[in-house]
Structure 1
């Protein structure tokens, strides 16, 4: 397969490397000379110029290419490149960072107006993954499964429960329920590979209806109410979540958590805090330096069930997480 990659930043370079490793032919278009010099060390056709230019795309062989992957730092360049490529019969994938263009982390087949077969918003993908880590398994939200009818629960195998030392397949679950995963010592295992259940395992079970929860608890040898059902969701105690960084990712995480958790968002930048306030409804937005222990203590971080750092500075994120611990 012949692939044209628009953009030789970190993402574009990694994509090019992976495609080469899979045996594909690759052309890369990049306007920045320094980035281009780096990509030239790979076995690719490296071209300097504007990836939105029909002429430059033609030089890259777009007329005979199988796919265009547009991952420049500009949404508009990515979109225009897709429009040109689509007119030549290419499959197209675009990175779209602006939430005004896409409402989901990854969209396939819904952006005909942009001529992109697949559009990926990295910030939204990251935010969705963070939210799922925080909410699954403690949140049983039925909207994503079977149009609101299914639920997901977590069962912690406490000492003495009858399911310990048994194989997942030996647990007789009610109709419509199945074991999705087993969390053990921080690793997530497929049930068929997890072996016998062990003490303190956390078992993720998907059910067609929440009314089956008591029967599932009995099947695992747990007492009634172990999952602590609350309305349409199940809680495990992570009620308060602190987010540091009013970035697009941080704001999106807060949006996805609002209504199910108490959310606090901290950032030093006054303008970013003001913008976050306009986008969020129930999140408490605080202007402050999360590296300052007094700020963390004053805002009650010690009571939080989770602390999430989403700034653009990796060292800052690591430091604030260490302080929060």
Structure 2
């Protein structure tokens, strides 16, 4: 099973490493000489070039790949790579940024299979999305980190706050949100929390109680 990873920055490199560790074949695409060197030294097949260029992705084996991750820090490159991947029958996952506006987000979400926000879940989320799974299949990301979910009670202190306003420090991050009886997706920073909403978080295991108290009060 082959994957094409466009962008060998922090998220792309970690995603490639996780996939390789799990036994998958990974081809990296990047146009930065330093990143190319790092990927090559890590033992990956590397194609030097612009990930938004269909001919470069062809060299990377897009015809045989089952999935492509557009994981650079440039959404335009990521989106172009994903569109090419879709044309070749790949599952495509696109990295977005936290400051993306809602209209652009909706366009991206409708045209790709999954979007990930590296500030919320990063490489583990990218790997899960590339494999076509859902967030619930991961019960532990790495040593010391766990996924948890909760429903927001009527008297929770975070009601009417935006996702950006919820302060968890370094103890955890909200990576998915859904209204009652609706699927969970990556929330926009301006998403307002309401009673009955569901939240999914990645949390340091030794701070689960503190994070829960921050979100739910004494419930």
Per the TM superposition, whether the score is higher than 0.5 is yes
Q: Which residue of 2 aligns with 1:306?
A: none
| Structure 1 residue ranges without an equivalent (≥5) | 104-108, 135-142, 153-184, 190-201, 206-232, 237-325
How far 1:144 moved relative to its partner?
Answer: 4.1
CA RMSD of aligned residues (A): 3.7
Match of residue 188, structure 1, among 208, 214, 218: 208
How far 1:130 moved relative to its partner?
Answer: 7.6
| Structure 2 residue ranges without an equivalent (≥5) | 123-161, 170-177, 183-193, 199-204
Contact 2:65 2:90 (C-alpha < 8 Å) held by counterparts: yes
How far 1:149 moved relative to its partner?
Answer: 5.7
Distance 1:34 1:204, change over 3 A: closer
Q: Which residue of 1 aligns with 2:151?
A: none
CA distance in 2, matches of 1:4, 1:53: 13
Larger radius of gyration: 1
Is 2:115 the partner of 1:119? yes
Q: Which residue of 2 aligns with 1:133?
A: 168
Q: Which residue of 2 aligns with 1:13?
A: 13
Q: Which residue of 1 aligns with 2:25?
A: 25
CA distance in 1, matches of 2:37, 2:211: 49
How far 1:76 moved relative to its partner?
Answer: 0.5
CA distance in 2, matches of 1:79, 1:234: 37
Q: Which residue of 2 aligns with 1:85?
A: 85
Q: Which residue of 1 aligns with 2:55?
A: 55
Spell out the pairing of 1:173-212 with structure 2 (5 A cutoff): 186-188=206-208
CA distance in 2, matches of 1:203, 1:123: 17
CA distance in 1, matches of 2:72, 2:105: 17
Distance 1:145 1:53, change over 3 A: same
Which segment is superposed worse, 93-102 or 17-26? 93-102
CA distance in 2, matches of 1:110, 1:77: 12
Q: Which residue of 2 aligns with 1:321?
A: none
Contact 1:110 1:117 (C-alpha < 8 Å) held by counterparts: no
CA distance in 1, matches of 2:5, 2:81: 10
How far 1:116 moved relative to its partner?
Answer: 1.3
Is 2:39 the partner of 1:39? yes
How far 1:110 moved relative to its partner?
Answer: 7.2
Spell out the pairing of 1:282-301 with structure 2 (5 A cutoff): none
How far 1:47 moved relative to its partner?
Answer: 0.9
CA distance in 1, matches of 2:85, 2:114: 13
Q: Which residue of 1 aligns with 2:143?
A: none
CA distance in 2, matches of 1:151, 1:35: 40
Report Cα offsets for 1:210-261 as digits up to 9, x if no partner.
xxxxxxxxxxxxxxxxxxxxxxx9767xxxxxxxxxxxxxxxxxxxxxxxxx
Distance 1:130 1:14, change over 3 A: farther
Report Cα offsets for 1:173-216 as digits up to 9, x if no partner.
xxxxxxxxxxxx95427xxxxxxxxxxxx7969xxxxxxxxxxx
TM-score normalized with structure 1 length: 0.40
How far 1:124 moved relative to its partner?
Answer: 6.5
